[in-house]
Amino acid sequence: MKSTPGGVWRAPDPLASSSNHNQIYNELWTKCVAHTLEFYDYTFDEHFQGEPITAFLPRRDINEYLLGRVTKGHPTFFEEYFVFDTQVERVQETTNKDKGSFKVTTRNLVTGEVNTQLFDRCIWAAGQNCEASIPKSLQDVFHGTGRFSKADVPSTIIDDHKESKEPKPDGADFCLLHSVETKRIQEQCNGRKVLLIGGGFSAEDLALQCVKWGATHVHVATRQDDAEVTWTSQWPGNKVTVHAEKAVESVNTDGEIILTTVEAIWPIGYKKTHRLSDNKVVLRGINIVIFCTGYNPNLNMLDLALRPQSDQLPGFTMGDHPSLYIEDFDWSTWKMTKKNAAYEYTGDIPAGQKRMIYAGSIHPDMCRGVFYENPHMMYLCENGAESPLFSLDVSAWLLCSYLTGYAAMPSVEELKALSMEEFLDKMQRPIFRFQMDEAYFEILTTKREYWGLSTNSDDDDSADMDDDEENKDDDEENNDSRSDPDVDAYQVYMIQLLCKIMKEGKHPGPSLGTYEKLNKTGRRLKEFMDSAYDMRADIETDYPDDWKWRTFRDADEAELVFSIHTGTKGRTLRRRWMDAEEGNLTSIRNGVL
């Protein structure tokens, strides 16, 4: 649909309207340590010509790296095989379903010409972070209190730190934005107080950007106590306040935003919310409210018969829809193993007592991206690993292996059996069962001391790594600062799952181990995933003015991470991130960083 390749990393369109969704901005950076994104067949050494990279990379460098990998052996690849400035209007199944034919209608956005073609296979790969999403509960709270971004920004915004001779308006008057609208956020936040709602990496990134763009203070409200935005131990100038386990309750006629404590929330959806009415936070003088509340995939071009139920794709959570509940499994046949990391603490908790929900990479309508209703329809999705480019590369290789016959594609029955097998395996891992079993969630949240509990269980996932001779030296270096064993369990499992998919698709990259145990390379990848957390949690402010400017992107620990393919170590930024020039100059290749 766009004019150039690169997805979310491509250059921003200077002519795009400020309210255009999917707005790209030059100041976008990687959320994870860049070394976890490196490809085996096109290393950072090759692309950056031996220049060590920083722990986190800006948009321009990632975009050039991705395009460089594609074109290094085929400079005219995009000219020959891609069609730009073209929108897919509709994808239909033909009457000859056995052959899997698809009728695809497209529109050229420059000429307006409509074209229809037939294809034997179809892969949806439009990206899961496509359309801005704002929960209806939040829309209702802010209804009538301000103006969403399609309208002009109110000119009568009143700051609480300034005296005004004009009376306050009858009701609030906010500029309401979504996190995708970064151009408009940059235009409006200077000298104003900002509230970000949401605790993911979008909130973290925009909190830093708003401070850099001149916001007087940034408040962040997140329902979770361990969201990504809570990891950071220090914000530049102490201009960011994170309100963990807080949800927006209401907005009063004076424009005050009331946050209330979220005591417990089931990770799936918003229905299991319990609030403590006697523990509130009142925010005054907020001018801009930014909804960092996620995205929905765009499946509108697909006929309903080609879409998964509820239009949801495999992701970290997929709840609050009856079609995603597991209702046809005999849970009396399933037992919690005594070697489970939580067994000693909780005892045997029978499954199936309440809602059981598909979650994470498990989906009721597809497995490995193959759609059960029509296996010739496929979906390219992330599987939840904190190495998204590598994860997508592994998944894309698997689908290509299926299409070319390089790897035999399982039958629908085999895929369904594989999906249930992995679901039951996840049920033995507390961090996943916590998301999938409502009864288990309720029991574990009443035993809060479990979180942070260490265990020496033989079957503990945090210890489920290869302990051969070549790895013994690494044990002393693997000092993860996180105390929650389930964080380790999540990281390890997702890499193990990648190992499994790599084997199924005959991926040519270096082995990370197996589904049962990680090897040395897999352990290194896991350690560097941990580094993304460590650099946020352990921000050093040793000198008098460090607190005014230091961010996690200025990490001195960057030299502790290195390429798992070449061994080249990372480096720190050459200048303070807060002082670095923005726009097209934001690159580690031109001396600015």
Domain ranges of the chain: 131-295, 310-534
DSSP state, 275?
E
Residue 97's pLDDT band (cuts 50, 70, 90): low
Q: What is the pLDDT of residue 144?
A: 77
What's the mean pLDDT in 89-113? 87
Q: How confident is the model at residue 41 (pLDDT cuts 50, 70, 90)?
A: very high
Return the minimum-mean-pLDDT range out of 157-171, 350-364, 479-493: 157-171
Where b means 16+ CB within 10 Å and e means fewer, 53-65 reads: bbbbbbbbbbbbb
* pLDDT tens track for 166-208: 333 445 678 999 988 888 898 899 999 999 999 999 999 999 9
Sign of the alpha-carbon torsion through 482, 485, 486, 491 = positive
pLDDT of residue 296: 84
- Residue 418: is its pLDDT beyond 50? yes
Per-residue pLDDT, 460 = 39
Provide the edge-to-edge strand list for the sheet that holds 288-291. 146-148, 174-178, 288-291, 193-197, 217-222, 240-244
344 within 8 A of 430, measured Cβ to Cβ: no
Weakest-pLDDT range from 250-259, 432-441, 444-453 = 444-453
pTM surpassing 0.85?
A: yes
Q: Are 488 and 462 in contact (CB under 8 A)?
A: yes
Contact criterion met (CB below 8 Å) for 286 and 219: yes
In the predicted model, is pLDDT for residue 74 greater than 70? yes
At residue 486, the pLDDT reads 60
Residue 465 has pLDDT above 50, yes or no: no
User: Residue 14: what pLDDT?
Assistant: 59
Contact yes or no for 184/149 (Cβ under 8 A)? yes
Structure-model confidence comparison of residues 472 and 172, the more confident one: 172
- Tell which residue, 434, 419, 563, 559, has the closest CA to residue 487: 434
The arithmetic mean of pLDDT across residues 426-434, rounded, is 87
- Across residues 68-77, what is the average pLDDT? 95
Average pLDDT over residues 463-471: 40
pLDDT at 480: 39
pLDDT confidence bin for 98, thresholds 50/70/90: low
pLDDT above 70: residue 42: yes
Residues 113-132: tens digit of each pLDDT: 999 999 999 999 988 877 88
The yes-or-no verdict on residue 342 having pLDDT over 80 is no
Whether 469 shows a pLDDT value over 50: the answer reads no
- Alpha carbons 423 and 352: distance in angstroms, whole number: 13
The Cα 27–Cα 584 span in angstroms is 9
Q: What is the pLDDT of residue 232?
A: 93
| Banded model confidence at residue 69, pLDDT cuts 50, 70, 90 | very high
- Is residue 298's pLDDT more than 50? yes
pLDDT band at 407 (very low <50, low <70, confident <90, very high): very high
Q: Indicate whether 471 pLDDT > 50.
A: no
Give me the mean pLDDT over the 483-500 stretch.
Answer: 79
Q: What's residue 147's pLDDT?
A: 53
The amino acid sitting at 399 is: L
What local confidence, expressed as pLDDT, does residue 346 receive? Answer: 78
CB 570 within 8 A of CB 52: yes
More confident residue, 469 or 219: 219
Average pLDDT over residues 49-54: 91
The yes-or-no verdict on residue 355 having pLDDT over 80 is yes
Report residue 473 CA to chain centroid gap. Answer: 33
* pLDDT, mean of residues 477-506: 75
pLDDT at 564 over 60: yes
Q: Which of 39-48, 312-321, 490-499 has the lowest mean pLDDT?
A: 312-321
C-alpha to C-alpha distance for 155 and 169, rounded to whole angstroms? 12
Among 342-356, 492-506, 558-572, which is the least confidently predicted range? 342-356
Query: Cβ(29)–Cβ(58) under 8 Å?
Result: yes
**pLDDT at residue 567 tops 50:** yes
E strand or H helix at 492: helix 485-505
Any bridge partners for residue 175, and if so which?
147, 288
On the question of pLDDT at 335 being above 50, the answer is yes
pLDDT (0 to 100) of residue 316: 63
Query: Alpha-carbon distance 218 to 251, whole Å?
Result: 18
Using pLDDT thresholds of 50, 70 and 90, give the confidence band for residue 582: confident
Q: Which of 347, 350, 342 is nearest to 457 (CA)?
A: 342
In whole numbers, what is the pLDDT of the chain averaged over residues? 83
Q: Which CATH number fits domain 131-295: 3.40.50.170, 3.30.565.10, 3.40.190.10, 3.50.50.60?
A: 3.50.50.60
